[in-house]
Amino acid sequence: MLTALSRGIPDRLPVTTHHIMQYFLDTYMNGVTDQEFFDFFDLDAWLWATICRPDAARGQFFDPSDVTPGFLNGRRVVTDEWRISAEELEDDQFDTVRYRIDTPKGALNMVVQANAYTSWVAEFLVKEKRDVELIAAYAPHPNCDGEAINRLAETFGERGLIRGVVLPFDIYGQPGCWQDACCLVGSERLIYETFDDSAWVHELIQVVGERKKTYLRSLKGVRFDLLELGGGDASSTVISPKIFDEFVAPYDCQLIDLAHAMGQRVVYHTCGGMMPFLERIAGLNPDAMETFTPANMGGDTRLAEAKARIGDKVCMIGGFDQFHYLLDCKETETRAEVRRCFEEAGPRGGYILSPSDHFFDADLNLIAAFADAARRCVYV
């Protein structure tokens, strides 16, 4: 994978997957760990980790109510002026939690819901435009716990790569600046506001981005192999090229430059349409791009065309249709899809085969065929 990330030609096609959903592990594999999943199928492994460290000099400490590390091993960082409390709400269909953030000048509220598969925002945090001022004034800016990440890297060794994210907003967020703002406001409202009050949108994105910059500045010498930036709200199936150029590119470009200055690699994640944005995203200078979602899954990717247009600029990750070739198909069809991906995106290296984002349901035999067929794709 390291060879592919540097756009080199490895001995064989690297093959992996994105986040491994707990629902899948519990339902199909008796609750094994992520690493047991990678070992079982002999896939090239990621170890996901985002571990923050409070800055005591700035009054930060771990949220005492958040005692169990959550997504990507993270714990929330709070201060006396940014206190988070959670209340479970009654709901007949979904697990529902209302989060309240108390600050010296007012409270913010967000409702998150979840089912067995995933979670989502049911009530957005930013309701009034002045709410952004509370975030700017009081939201803590955590650093990375580099020592903890380096210990993981030392233990993981040659088994695979350490992968993290550019720090999302607490409770629920995304790595990219625009995408994180969408999680706070709602993508539909934020798109409208680019026309109605563009100055406020820029203010919000700037506030979101400053928190990410603090995190990135703490990454010098931290042994991440790849950091994820981006998110689906900046795909071409959600926003226009004009919005991307004005509200996405200028801010995420700064983060990529800062990550590179800290010695880190970046993959730009776009789960949705990509083809109209290929050169725009590659122009941000990430080391890799994903997910190259096929049209049958709601994306628009034509792998061979994408390779021709930006394959000499970035490593490409993804492209495999997990909805149709990891479930309810013949093993020969899965293997043929792997070969198609390799033939279209694999030439000259710089390609890592992966499903286009995560999956919830899959046939174990087809995952095994996916992994085996990829390992048989060799460079000569």
How does pLDDT run across 93-106, given as a tens digit for each residue?
999 999 999 999 99
Give the pLDDT band of residue 65 (cuts 50, 70, 90). Answer: confident
The number of beta carbons lying within 10 Å of the beta carbon of residue 338 is 24
Q: Is residue 306 part of a domain?
A: yes
Mean of all residue pLDDT scores within the chain: 96
Q: For residues 223 and 150, is the Cβ–Cβ distance under 8 A?
A: yes
From residue 72, alpha-carbon distances to 15, 49, 167 in Å are: 21, 5, 11
Widest pairwise Cα distance in the chain: 64
Tell the burial category of 80 from Cβ atoms under 10 Å away from its Cβ (0-12, 13-18, 19+): exposed
Q: Domains in the chain: how many in total?
A: 1
Residue 90 lies in a domain: no
In a domain, 84, yes or no: no
DSSP string, 120-144: EEEE-S--STTHHHHHHHH---PEE
- Residue 352 and residue 354: Cα distance in Å, rounded? 6
The pLDDT tens digits of the residues spanning 113-158 come to 999 999 999 999 999 999 999 999 999 999 999 999 999 999 999 9
- What's the confidence (pLDDT) of residue 75? 86
Q: Residue 137: which domain range?
A: 2-78+126-375
Q: How sure is the predictor about 183, in pLDDT bands with cuts at 50, 70 and 90?
A: very high
Of all residues in the chain, the percent with pLDDT exceeding 70 is 98
Determine, yes or no, domain membership for 109: no
pLDDT at 74 over 80: no
| pTM for the predicted model, two decimal places | 0.96
For residues 75 and 32, give the distance between their C-alpha atoms in angstroms, rounded to a whole number: 23
Q: Quick check: is 104 in a domain? A: no
| pLDDT digit string, tens, across residues 9-52 | 999 999 999 999 999 999 999 999 999 999 999 999 999 998 99
For position 72, what pLDDT does the model report?
Answer: 62
Q: What are phi and psi of 144, to 5 degrees?
A: -80, 145
pLDDT above 90 (res 359)? yes
With b for 16 or more beta-carbon neighbours within 10 A and e for fewer, the 103-141 pattern comes to: beeeebebbbbeeeeeeebbebbbeeeebbebbeebbbb
User: With bands split at pLDDT 50, 70 and 90, how would you rate the model's confidence at 66?
Assistant: confident
Helix axes 177-185, 198-217, angle to 10 degrees: 120
Q: What is the DSSP letter of 175?
A: S
Domain of 22, CATH number, reads 3.20.20.210
- Residue 28 domain flag: yes
Measured between its terminal Cα atoms, the distance across the chain in Å is 17
H helix runs in the chain, sequence order: 2-5, 22-28, 34-41, 131-138, 146-156, 177-185, 187-196, 198-217, 241-243, 249-261, 278-282, 303-310, 322-325, 331-345, 364-375
User: 3-class DSSP state for residue 171?
Assistant: coil
Task: State pLDDT tens for residues 323-345.
Answer: 999 999 999 999 999 999 999 99
Q: What is the reported pLDDT for 68?
A: 65
185-215 per-position pLDDT tens digit: 999 999 999 999 999 999 999 999 999 999 9
List, for residues 266-305, the tens digit of each pLDDT value: 999 999 999 999 999 999 999 999 999 999 999 999 999 9
pLDDT at residue 222 is higher than 70: yes
Does residue 185 fall inside a structural domain? yes
Tell how many helices (H) and how many strands (E) occur in the chain. 15, 15
Please check whether residue 317 lies inside any domain of the structure: yes
Distance (Å, rounded) from C-alpha 90 to C-alpha 110? 15
